[in-house]
């Protein structure tokens, strides 16, 4: 006997959000190196120094995330008491950055770990809670810090160990999004705001809604090199893209932008090859697809294969993509944050690197 199909399920892995949760506001904070990159003007805050005035790198990352959360709440014209849950994650053991941020804010907290896929994961889970009518206001976010991740997953910075060309640079960044229940606004309906945060002028912005989410599954090709994260995650990204397109009946050309979380230069090239082999037109891949890890740094910044970390896709989406959607420059995007689910001890035990990728579709009129 087979069970009844869920009414809001498309195909095997995609969820349809019929109530279309609203992406109401956001905050993106980045470190010094990220502030020197091509997206600098889009971020809400660039740190003057990566300690952020704290005594440890871990406290610095937690403070970044807390400030990004507060920024999203304030810009959404909410008070902290209005927020019914915070859904965030990071790369540290026991979600240290997120847990201590939530401890200080005293808001109900759900810690999520999807490695660098955490931003899409938090948006997806948050949209389920809002679409189901369980909450009206939640925060979804993620953070990372170069100095915390390096000493946990690789070597202490003091060692000055050399990185191969395929290695990526963990972004010092945090992004937070306020998700609201849809109170009758139609998708794409314009929402008047008092000021533009960049120039102080009165503006009318587009309403951005979450319409679909595709749950990823772990894809493990047996790769064990921790300096090849992009290659390890690319197959999972491709699997999620293909399943999303099949479930929704769409093509890549139905989107203005499709973003992978942080495959970097190496992983992006692999993803393009695999998607082209699967029949996705190369012109669409060239014109529509990009990667947050490639976008966040200039090649001259010596990050080798590009950016990585939970904060990479969190800050690029919140700072750059979301703001372009509110302006009406992008009408439909697919964010697919990618994660390598290794631990600090699994490589030493001879384990391979499992990859995961979750997708969230957001639209305006």
Whole-number Cα distances in Å, 327 to 119, 187, 331: 22, 14, 9
Is 186 inside any structural domain? no
Tell me what percent of the chain is helix, strand and coil, each rounded to the nearest 5: 40, 25, 40
What would the pLDDT profile of 299-351 be if each residue is shown by its tens digit? 889 888 889 999 999 999 999 999 999 999 999 999 999 999 998 889 889 99
Residue 119 near residue 103, CB atoms below 8 Å = no
Is 172 inside any structural domain? yes
| 241: its two tokens | 């893209």
Residue carrying structure tokens 């990204």: 237
What would the pLDDT profile of 9-65 be if each residue is shown by its tens digit? 999 999 999 999 999 999 999 999 999 999 999 999 999 999 999 999 999 999 999
Indicate whether 43 and 123 sit together in one domain.
yes
The pTM of the full predicted model, rounded to 2 decimals, is: 0.91
- Of 164, 180, 196, the residue that ends a domain is 180
Is 308 inside any structural domain? yes
Whole-number Cα distances in Å, 22 to 88, 208, 363: 18, 6, 10
Is 166 inside any structural domain? yes
Is 10 inside any structural domain? no
Indicate whether 171 and 25 sit together in one domain.
yes
What DSSP state is assigned to residue 348?
Answer: G
Indicate whether 261 and 346 sit together in one domain.
yes
Indicate whether 122 and 226 sit together in one domain.
no
Q: How many domains are there within the chain?
A: 2
**By residue range, what is the domain housing residue 60?**
20-180
* Whether the predicted pLDDT of 197 surpasses 60: no
Cα–Cα distance for residue pair 295/316, rounded to 1 Å: 8
């Amino acid at each position: 006997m087979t069970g009844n199909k869920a009414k809001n399920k498309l195909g095997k892995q995609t969820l349809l959000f019929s109530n279309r949760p609203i992406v109401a506001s956001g905050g993106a904070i980045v470190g010094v190196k990220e502030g020197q990159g091509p997206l600098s003007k889009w971020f809400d805050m660039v740190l003057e120094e990566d300690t952020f005035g704290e005594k440890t790198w871990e406290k610095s990352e937690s403070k970044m995330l807390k400030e990004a959360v507060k920024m999203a709440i304030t810009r959404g014209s909410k008070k902290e008491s209005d927020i019914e849950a915070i859904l965030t994650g990071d790369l540290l053991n026991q979600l240290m950055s997120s847990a201590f941020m939530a401890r200080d804010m005293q808001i109900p907290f759900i810690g999520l770990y999807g490695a660098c896929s955490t931003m899409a994961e938090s948006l997806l889970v948050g949209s389920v809670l809002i679409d189901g009518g369980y909450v009206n206001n939640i925060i979804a976010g993620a953070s990372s810090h170069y100095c915390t991740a390096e000493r946990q997953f690789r070597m202490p910075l003091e060692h000055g160990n050399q990185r191969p060309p395929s290695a990526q640079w963990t972004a010092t960044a945090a992004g937070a999004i306020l998700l609201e229940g849809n109170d009758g606004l139609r998708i794409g309906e314009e929402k008047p705001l008092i000021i533009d945060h960049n120039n102080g002028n009165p503006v009318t912005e587009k309403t951005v809604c979450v319409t679909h989410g595709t749950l990823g599954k772990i894809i493990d090709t047996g790769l064990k090199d921790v300096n090849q994260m992009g290659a390890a995650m690319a197959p999972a990204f491709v699997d999620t893209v293909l399943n999303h397109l099949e479930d929704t009946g769409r093509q890549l050309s139905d989107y203005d932008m499709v973003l992978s979380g942080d495959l970097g230069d190496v992983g992006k090239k692999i993803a393009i090859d695999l998607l082209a082999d699967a029949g996705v037109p190369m012109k669409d891949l060239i014109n529509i697809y990009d990667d947050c890890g490639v976008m966040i740094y200039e090649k001259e910044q010596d990050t080798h294969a590009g950016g990585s970390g939970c904060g990479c896709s969190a800050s690029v989406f919140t700072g750059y993509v979301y703001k372009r959607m509110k302006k009406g420059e992008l009408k439909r995007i697919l964010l697919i944050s990618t994660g390598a689910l290794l631990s600090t001890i699994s490589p030493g035990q001879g384990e391979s690197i499992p990859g995961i990728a979750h997708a969230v579709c957001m639209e305006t009129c």
